[in-house]
Structure 1
C-alpha cells in the first residue's frame, strides 16, 4: 500500500529568553515547560529536523533591545545559535518582518511544531499565521506557557488556547506523543 506524503517537519521555539522566562515574574509551570521544550529539541535533532528559535526584541535602549542580556536565549535551552536558525522579532507573529518563512520554504518544511511563550500573544499569533501561510502547525499542548493576568490565571489561558486553536488553526499534540 502506498504511504501518503509526510511533510518535512521543523521545531519553532518562541521567546524562551532571559528577560521573559527568567525575569522577576516567572511563567506558569516553567520547569516542566522548559524540560518539554528541551525534549522536543532532542527529538528534532534525532530526526534531523531543523530547529528555529525566535527572540522578542524591543527598541534600542529598552530592556529587550537587540543584543541586550535580557533578549538572549535562556542558557538552559538546548538551542545552539551556531547550528540552529535563531532570529529576532519585534511583533507577536514570528513571520512578520523575519527570515522564518524563507527559511522554512528553503528547507521544504510543511509541518511546523510550535512551543514557547507567551501563549496568548506570540504563540497564538504564530499558530494562526502559520496556518494562513499554508503550513501545518502543530501546537505542543504541554510546551507553551505564560504568566497570570488580572483577568485569568496562566493555566486557564493555556487550556483555553489549546481548546481554541485545536482544529481550525493547529493540530494539538503533547511532548510525549509527538514524533518528528
Structure 2
C-alpha cells in the first residue's frame, strides 16, 4: 500500500465554541482547519476526527448534550475515521495506532484544540510511537490558563509554550501551506 499523509482533527466540538470554554487565541483556526479538510477531501486522502466524550457530568463534553457534538463545519463524512476518547490522548483506549499502521502512514498532520491539552498529549504519543508528526500551529488554538505558580497566562502564551514543547522533539510545527505540500497531487484514496 502507498504511503500517505493523514489529517487528524482533534476535538472540534460545539462546546469548544461556547463562551464558557474560555478566552482563546487563533480566531482564524477554524477557517484554516476547514481549508485543510477541503484539501484532504479533494485529494481523497485519509482523515481522522477525534471527539472527546467526558466522564465528568459538568463537562461541556458530557454525552447526550450539544457540547459533545462535532461543529457543523467539521462533521465527518461516512468514510472518514472517528475516534472517541475520554482522556486527552487519542491513542489511549482506541484503535488509532493500529489504523495508522494499516494505512502505512507517511505523516500525521494534526490540527484542533486545545493545543496544550488533547493536541499536545496526542502528538507526544504519536512522536513516541515513531510516527512522523506535524502540527499546523495556526490551525490549533488554546485557552488562557493559570500557570503552576498562579500567574495568569494568555491563550497566546499557553499556545506558544505548547508548540515549543512539541517542536523538534515529538513533532515539527508547520504552516498551513507546508501542510498542503505534504499531500501529493497524485494521491489516491486509502481510506477504510
TM-score calculated relative to the size of structure 2? 0.82
Contact 1:22–1:74 at 8 Å: present in 2 too?
A: no
Aligned residues of 1:66 and 1:88 also touching (Cα < 8 A): no
Aligned pair partner of 2:127 in 124, 131, 139:
131
Q: CA deviation at 1:50?
A: 0.6
8 Å CA contact retained: 2:144, 2:153: yes
Q: What RMSD in Å do the two structures reach over aligned CA positions? A: 2.0
Larger CA deviation: 141-150 vs 17-26: 17-26
Aligned pair 1:113/2:79, yes or no?
no
Match of 2:173 in 1: 172
Matched, 1:56 2:57: no
Query: What is the deviation of 1:14?
Result: 0.6
User: Deviation digits for residues 7-59 of structure 1, max 9, x if unmatched?
Assistant: 41101111110122335335524540000111111121223221111111112
Count of residue pairs brought into register by the alignment: 174
Runs of 4+ in 1 over 6 A off after TM superposition: none
TM-score with structure 1 setting the length: 0.87
Correspondence for 1:91: 87
Contact 2:15-2:21 within 8 A present in 1 as well = no
**CA deviation after TM superposition for structure 1 residue 154, in Å:** 0.7
Gap change, CA 1:13 and 1:56, over 3 Å in 2? same
1:17 aligned residue: 13
- The answer to which of 153-162 and 23-32 deviates more is 23-32
Q: Residues 45, 177 of structure 1: CA spacing in aligned structure 2 closer, same or farther, 3 A cutoff?
A: same
d(CA) in 1 for partners of 2:111, 2:30: 10
Equivalent in the alignment of 1:3: none
Q: How big is the shift at 1:60?
A: 7.5
Higher RCO, 1 vs 2 (CA within 8 Å, ≥6 residues apart): 2
- For residue 103 of structure 1, the aligned residue among 84, 90, 99 is 99
From 78, 81, 84, the equivalent of 1:82 is 78
Equivalent-residue separation in structure 2 for 1:98 and 1:113 (angstroms): 18
Unmatched 5+ residue regions in structure 1? Answer: 1-5
Quote the residue 1:160 is aligned against.
161
Change (3 A) 1:41 1:27: farther
